[in-house]
Chains A and B, each alone.
Chain A
Amino acid sequence: MLQWTTLSLELGLLALALVLFVLDLTRVSRRLITLLAGLGTFALFLFSFTVPSTGTFTQAFILDPFALFLKRIFLLAALLTLMGASTYARVRNYTARMGEFILLVLLATLGAMALVSARDFLTFFVAFELLSLPIYALAAIEKGNPLAPEGALKVFLFGSLSSVALFLGIGLLYAATGTTFWTRIHTVLFPVLFQLGVVLLLVGIGFKIAMFPFYMWVPDTYEAAPTPVVAFLSVAPKAAGIGVLFRLYFEFFSRWQGDLTAWITVLAAVTMIAGNLMALPQKNLKRLLAYSGVAHIGYVLTAVAAGSRFSAAMALFYFVAYLFSNMGAFLAVAALETQGVEPTLEGSRNLIRRSPLLAAAFLVFLLSLGGIPFVLGFWGKLYVFLAAGKAGLWGLVFLGALLAVIALYYYLNVARWMFIVEEGEGSLHIPGSLLAAVGIAAVVVFAGGLVPQWLVVPAVHAVMGF
């Protein structure tokens, strides 16, 4: 008998997406549909606390506390995106495509949710594509913007290439082992093919999480795509990629691949270095946050390199911090853009007098991303480095700490423009829905920094299954 309850969250989200999609074709107003989408996503988030936290649906799909934790992150990412999207769409003149926007965001969320539950390479690939394809369209949804096609084309080409690499890797792994279910592998027939398959698998996931050296598309796409989409893009696919990397680590690599620590350590180190150094000269806030996102993936990869249950828990916790800090920062940028302000350092000058609330929230996000005590991002970094240290990767911890100091320069440079540079005129009236989304994120980042154990303990419980 198939356990349909295992799929209840995914089925609920699919039903929500389809119902809203059909509603959009009737005379129901787009405002109401966006509101329903937000409420529905929030309801699913609450519902996720009532579903049984373990179960399987055939051997290809597993629901465990680890997957469930990540699914909640995706739902929250979708929720914050939808909160910011409506106003932004009105200003940027694509309200007519809000129905498609909602459908695509929800389907990408569905893909991410399925991806972290996959236990077989075919489910994995379909989920991976379901996550990727809507994002290509979302990047291009602002048709009037002359930059949009460039950004969308870049993410599409790089994304397609990563899918090709991934699928070739899956094919080679199938040839080498004779099964696509990674829990059913008995022997590895062709070690060479197997190694090649594993490398290609890492390449495919690396594109998705914007790991070095596969991050070139990130700044251009982030700059061109609508900011709420970027906010989603900067969190959900990365969390999904890292989540699936951990699942592979525990259920697949650890048994058949041997030690990947050396590889991931090198990747984590160069990703951290590249992201942080490239972020230094950026003058566009979206490009700056894009490179800072690459750097953050480097920090999370430190936890992957450690490869312990504790480090998996800390990576989950890191993503909660990153979800609110990074999405908050992007939504704050979106709020600036709705007021006709260029998303650059210059454009954000004197923000403290032009919109004190937004400036205060932005400062909280910057401090969190920079890892200043005692906001949420600080604890995230601390625990990830602690996990890496426990695994004996002190070199990586030292490098990460050093780069975090360098990162402070570019984060606080933004704060300098907002708070100290005084020549900016005209107060801004930030739309309510965006201010609410930014405010919620800021409150979570701030309050979470005071009581991090409320988030750390669930994260630790979530990895008990491995």
Chain B
Amino acid sequence: MESFAGVGLTFLAAVLFAGAAVVASRILSPRGKPTDRAKLEVYESGVIPRQDAHVRFPIRFYLVALLFLIFDVEIAFLYPWALRVKELGVVGVVEIGLFVGMLLAAYVYFWRRGGLQWQ
């Protein structure tokens, strides 16, 4: 039970902080119609939104994202393995080989099925 006290306190602090921000802005903000267009923006002092969020873009970007994922996952596992390569020994090399092999199969699939051809 006691070990969860910190979680509870954090939760309480989060609720209080968020609640205080809402209440404070209610009290402090000027009443009546907004005088400035900027007041109506999503982020008053942020980047000015230029268009709707529903934009059409080429489906190929999804393929690029998937290709990125293959190497991303590979790197995410290669670094920790590289740090412990001595302790893990031969088994580790075999395991990481299988892992990279599987991802390579995915890469070869991507390549063979024309994922790299932009036109």
Task: Flag whether B105 is at the interface (Cβ < 8 A).
Answer: yes
B105 A22 Cβ-Cβ under 8 A? yes
Complex alpha-carbon distance, A21 and B105, angstroms: 8
Besides A21-B109, A22-B108, A25-B109, 9 more A-B contacts (Cβ < 8 Å) are: A18-B102, A18-B105, A21-B105, A22-B105, A25-B108, A25-B112, A25-B113, A189-B1, A189-B4
What total count of A-B pairs have CB within 8 Å?
A: 12
* Nearest A residue (CB) for B106: A21
List the 7 closest pairs (A to B, CB-CB), nearest first.
A25-B112, A22-B105, A18-B105, A25-B108, A25-B109, A21-B105, A18-B102
Residues of A within 8 A of B109 (CB): 21, 25
**How far does the Cβ of B70 sit from chain A's closest Cβ, in whole Å?**
14
Majority secondary structure of chain B interface residues (helix, strand, loop or mixed): helix
Chain A: interface residue count, which band?
under 10
Complex alpha-carbon distance, A18 and B103, angstroms: 11
| Mask: chain B, 77-112; 1 = CB below 8 Å from A; 0 = not | 000000000000000000000000010010011001
| Mask: chain A, 114-129; 1 = CB below 8 Å from B; 0 = not | 0000000000000000
Interface residues of B in 1-40 (CB under 8 A from A): 1, 4
Chain B: interface residue count, which band?
under 10
Complex alpha-carbon distance, A318 and B102, angstroms: 37
Interface residues of A in 153-193 (CB under 8 A from B): 189
**How far does the Cβ of A102 sit from chain B's closest Cβ, in whole Å?**
13
Residues of B within 8 A of A21 (CB): 105, 109
Interface residues of B in 36-54 (CB under 8 A from A): none
| Mask: chain A, 1-29; 1 = CB below 8 Å from B; 0 = not | 00000000000000000100110010000
Complex alpha-carbon distance, A189 and B1, angstroms: 7
**How far does the Cβ of A326 sit from chain B's closest Cβ, in whole Å?**
33
Complex alpha-carbon distance, A368 and B1, angstroms: 54
**How far does the Cβ of A174 sit from chain B's closest Cβ, in whole Å?**
12
**How far does the Cβ of A24 sit from chain B's closest Cβ, in whole Å?**
8
* Nearest A residue (CB) for B113: A25
Complex alpha-carbon distance, A18 and B112, angstroms: 15
Complex alpha-carbon distance, A189 and B3, angstroms: 11
Residues of A within 8 A of B102 (CB): 18
**How far does the Cβ of B56 sit from chain A's closest Cβ, in whole Å?**
18
Complex alpha-carbon distance, A22 and B102, angstroms: 10
Residues of A within 8 A of B4 (CB): 189
Residues of B within 8 A of A25 (CB): 108-109, 112-113
* Nearest B residue (CB) for A99: B109
Q: List 12 A-B contacts (CB under 8 A).
A: A18-B102, A18-B105, A21-B105, A21-B109, A22-B105, A22-B108, A25-B108, A25-B109, A25-B112, A25-B113, A189-B1, A189-B4
**How far does the Cβ of B61 sit from chain A's closest Cβ, in whole Å?**
20
**How far does the Cβ of B71 sit from chain A's closest Cβ, in whole Å?**
19
**How far does the Cβ of B93 sit from chain A's closest Cβ, in whole Å?**
16
Residues of A within 8 A of B105 (CB): 18, 21-22
**How far does the Cβ of A28 sit from chain B's closest Cβ, in whole Å?**
13
Interface residues of B in 56-80 (CB under 8 A from A): none
